[in-house]
Each structure stands twice: as structure tokens, then as C-alpha cells.
Amino acid sequence: MSNVTLEAAEEIIAAVHHRAQALGKAVSVAVVDAGGFVVAIRRPDGARPLTPDIARAKAYTAAVMQRPGPMLKKWQESQPVFFAQLSQLPGAALPIMAAEGSVTIKKDGEIIGGLGIAGGTADEDQQLADDVLASLGYELEFAAWGVAGKPAGPGKD
């Protein structure tokens, strides 16, 4: 299993911060490896104090659940009790946050980490994540659980 490197994490974070600045937003960004362990977290000047923790939980969720937040939200809505219990599991290092701005990092068909962004609106966090990962050559297609056929795109079943 490959993992996102520190160099790649720093490239992703720099690209997110550059795009967020153009929107006039100060967002915190976290990148974790495939196991959910932190590779890098950055909170720029002006970002709210809690945003690094939110970004880390989003990145962790995307990595260990192996799906982006928008896909997980639909599952969470259909099984809220199951999702509430996930964060209580003995091996859960962080809460499971099925939210926008939570994207699985996938390269050459392999999940190598998770990206979490916090500080903008839900839509802004998600758009930043999708745009940056796509621009850097990462994959944004993930198959829905239990469904044969064509993989779902971001935010789809």
C-alpha cells in the first residue's frame, strides 16, 4: 500500500491555500495517509482556531472510510445510528465526519490518503478540495457500496 508523501501533502496544501486566498478565505488544510495518520496540517493567518481539528477529522474520515464526505453523507442519513457508533469504536482515532471538504486521495486506482479542508462554506471547502486534487492529477471517482457498474463521481451515489 502506498501513502501520500510529505512532498505531495505540502503541494496539495499550498495549492488549496493559493485558491482559497483568491476567494478571500483563510482555510485550514489537513492531509493524512491511507491509515488516517497526519502527514501535514496548516492553519494560515486568519483561520479560525478550531478549523485545523475539523480539517483533520475530515481528512481522517475520507481516508479510513475510503470515500469522500458527500458520498458518506448519504450513507449517514440512511443509517444515523451506525454512523454515531463508528466514532465510538476502540480503534477510531477521531470522530467520523461525513461532510463537504472531506475527500479521499486516490492515485492510479489506489487510496493513498485523505484531504480535509475547513474554514469556508461547505460548498467552498468541497470545491477547493475537488479542484485542487483534479488539477494535481488525483482521481475523484469512487464506486458506490454494493452497486455493480459505473463508479459514482463526487457527491453521487
The answer on pLDDT for 157 being more than 50 is: no
Sheet holding 28-33, edge to edge: 38-42, 28-33, 110-118, 102-107
Query: pLDDT for 44-72, tens place per residue?
Result: 999 999 999 999 999 999 999 999 999 99
Query: pLDDT for 100-132, tens place per residue?
Result: 999 999 999 999 999 999 999 999 999 999 999
Lowest model confidence (mean pLDDT) among 8-17, 119-128, 136-145: 136-145
Estimate to the nearest angstrom the gap between the alpha carbon of 15 and the chain centroid.
15
The answer on pLDDT for 10 being more than 60 is: yes
Whole-angstrom distance, CA of residue 119 vs CA of residue 43:
10
What mean pLDDT do residues 66-84 have? 90
Whole-angstrom distance, CA of residue 111 vs CA of residue 127:
20
What mean pLDDT do residues 129-154 have? 77
**Grid cell 475523484 in the structure block, residue:** 140
Confirm if 12 and 133 have CB atoms less than 8 A apart.
Answer: yes
What mean pLDDT do residues 18-41 have? 97
The answer on pLDDT for 149 being more than 50 is: no
What average pLDDT does the structure give for the chain? 90
Confirm if 156 and 85 have CB atoms less than 8 A apart.
Answer: no
Residues whose CB is less than 8 angstroms from the CB of residue 82 and which lie 6 or more positions away in sequence, other chains included:
none
Q: Is 36 exposed, middle or buried (0-12, 13-18, 19+ CB in 10 A)?
A: buried
Confirm if 157 and 133 have CB atoms less than 8 A apart.
Answer: no
The answer on pLDDT for 148 being more than 80 is: no
Q: Write phi, then psi, for 135 (nearest 5 degrees).
A: -65, -25
The answer on pLDDT for 143 being more than 90 is: no
Task: Return the percentage of the chain with pLDDT > 70, whole number.
Answer: 91
